[in-house]
Structure 1
């Protein structure tokens, strides 16, 4: 499955589902972004159970600002409406595959318990 373009109009709908969403924040003028793009697309083809989305930070400045994106490319992983990973920098294919494996392995029940405990402590 190819990646999908995420915009302020479709972002919430795509991310709020129960699927894992991997997001590439990028811009056309960014050299590392262009180098990472084929790696991201190949991962999208190899992992059809994950939604791979791309946010053009030039066209979608509101989204970039909402997530405080200050460096691109930035890769973000969201699962069950929880951001599990958000780091700037292009990853080589083996590192992206490893990250995908780690995201799949996350125990979301444990994450929800930790979030609930943090909320209760405030």
Structure 2
């Protein structure tokens, strides 16, 4: 699943996330966050040629359980998961290269 431009209408539960298989980028943020908006082209570029990496975009905010379970404090926060386990994390990424590097840790390209 390539880059997802919209936040999930219903966020997954932590239990669902923990049971994911394969490579996943879990993105926490909001549609109105300036940092999140600036990061979108970088995230899209990094995921462009990586169809094997699932991208899940979660709208975060006070009281949102999934974000709290990952100790999210700033947006956007990208959590890179392999089989439901955190491998890497980026907070407010400022380059596509940093996202590419985290994806390579998660799912090395062939």
Coarse TM-score class (shorter-chain normalised): 0.7 to 0.9
Number of aligned positions between the proteins: 105
Greater helix content: 1
Structure 2 partner of 1:62 = 65
Equivalent-residue separation in structure 2 for 1:32 and 1:57 (angstroms): 13
Equivalent-residue separation in structure 1 for 2:46 and 2:63 (angstroms): 23
TM-score by structure 2 length?
0.76
TM-score by structure 1 length?
0.70
Structure 2 partner of 1:91 = 94
Structure 2, gaps ≥5 residues long: none
1:29 aligns with 2:32: yes
CA contact (8 A) 1:33 1:90 kept: no
Structure 2 partner of 1:120 = none
Equivalent-residue separation in structure 1 for 2:25 and 2:83 (angstroms): 12
Structure 1, gaps ≥5 residues long: 106-122
The aligned runs of 1:1-122 (5 Å cut-off) are 1-3=2-4, 5-6=7-8, 7-9=10-12, 12-13=15-16, 16-58=19-61, 61-105=64-108
Equivalent-residue separation in structure 2 for 1:101 and 1:79 (angstroms): 11
> Which structure has the larger Rg over C-alpha atoms?
1
Shift of 1:56: 0.9
Q: Any idea what the Cα deviations from partners look like across 1:51-96, whole Å, max 9, x if unmatched?
A: 0111111398221112111111111011122111123222311221
